[in-house]
Chain A
Amino acid sequence: MEVDVLKRVPVREQEPQIRAANFDEVCLGYNKEEAMAEASRCLKCKNPQCQKGCPVNIDIPGFIRAIEEDKMEESFEILSKYSALPAICGRVCPQESQCEAKCIRGIKGDAVSIGKLERFTADWARENGIRPQAATEKKGKKVAVIGSGPAGLTCAGELAKAGYDVTIFEALHEPGGVLVYGIPEFRLPKQTVVSAEIENVKSLGVKIETNVVIGKSTTIDELFLEEGFSAVFIGSGAGLPKFMGIPGENANGVFSANEFLTRNNLMKAYLEDYDTPIFKGKKVAVVGGGNVAMDAARTALRLGAKVHIVYRRGESELPARVEEVHHAKEEGIIFNLLTNPKEILVDENGWVRGMVCVEMELGEPDASGRRRPVEKPDSEFELALDTVIMSLGTSPNPLISSTTKGLEIDGHKCIVAREEDGRTTKEGVYAGGDAVTGAATVILAMGAGKDAARGIDEYLTQAQ
Chain B
Amino acid sequence: MYEITKKKFLSENIFLMDVKAPRVAKNCYPGQFVIVKLDERGERIPLTICDYDAIAGTVTIVVQAIGASTERMAEYDVGDALRDFTGPLGCRSELLDEPVEELKKKKILFVAGGVGTAPVYPQVKWLHSQGVLADCIIGARTKGLIILEEEMKAVAGEVYVATDDGSYGFRGNVNDKIKDLVSQGKTYDLVIAIGPLIMMKFVSLLTKELGIRTVVSMNPIMVDGTGMCGACRLTVGGQVKFACVDGPEFDGHLVDFDGAMKRAQMYKTEEGRALLREREGGTHHGGCGHCGD
Where the two chains meet, the residues of A that have a C-beta atom closer than 8 Å to any C-beta of B are 171-173, 181, 210-213, 216-218, 239-241, 243, 245, 249-252, 255-256, 258-259, 262-263, 267-270, 272-281, 349-351, 386, 397, 399
Contact = CB atoms under 8 A, between A and B. Distances in A.
Contacts of A279: 276, 279-280
Interface of B: 23-24, 26-27, 37, 41-44, 68-69, 83-89, 223-224, 226-231, 233-235, 240, 245, 259, 262-263, 265-266, 271-272, 275-276, 279-285, 287-288
Contacts of A268: 41
Given A240-B227, A250-B235, 13 more contacts: A171-B86, A171-B224, A171-B226, A173-B37, A181-B224, A217-B87, A258-B228, A262-B228, A274-B283, A275-B285, A277-B276, A277-B283, A280-B281
A252 B23 CA distance: 36
Contacts of B83: 173
A278 B84 contact: no
B223 A216 contact: no
24 contacts: A173-B86, A211-B84, A212-B23, A217-B87, A218-B26, A250-B233, A252-B263, A252-B272, A255-B230, A259-B223, A259-B231, A262-B229, A263-B223, A267-B44, A272-B282, A274-B283, A275-B68, A275-B285, A276-B223, A278-B280, A280-B280, A349-B265, A350-B265, A397-B226
Contact of B27 (A217, A270, A277): A217
A275 B41 contact: yes
B189 to A, nearest CB: 29
Given A252-B263, A275-B68, A259 B230 contact: yes
Per DSSP, chain A at the interface is loop
B27 A218 contact: yes
Contact of B69 (A245, A269, A275): A275
B87 A173 contact: no
B182 to A, nearest CB: 34
A240 B275 CA distance: 29
Given A272-B283, A397-B227, A217 B88 contact: yes
A277 B288 contact: yes
Contacts of B86: 171-173, 211-213, 217
Contacts of A217: 23-24, 27, 86-88
Given A216-B89, A217-B27, A262-B223, A349 B271 contact: yes
Contact of B23 (A218, A263, A272, A350): A218
A447 B231 CA distance: 32
Nearest to B256: A250
B43 A275 contact: yes
A267 B265 CA distance: 22
B263 A213 contact: no
B87 A397 contact: no
A277 B285 contact: yes
Contacts of A239: 226-228
Contact of B262 (A172, A277, A281, A349): A349
Given A217-B24, A239-B226, A250 B84 contact: no
Contact of B287 (A211, A216, A275): A275
A399 B227 contact: yes
A251 B259 CA distance: 8
**Closest 8 A/B residue pairs (Cβ):** A350-B262, A259-B229, A277-B284, A173-B84, A256-B230, A211-B86, A239-B228, A277-B280
A397 B229 CA distance: 12
B88 A173 contact: no
A173 B281 contact: no
Most buried by B among A262, A272, A276: A276
A273 B42 CA distance: 9
A273 B235 CA distance: 34
A267 B223 contact: yes
A210 B84 contact: yes
B265 to A, nearest CB: 7
B84 A241 contact: no
Nearest to B223: A262
Contacts of B233: 243, 250
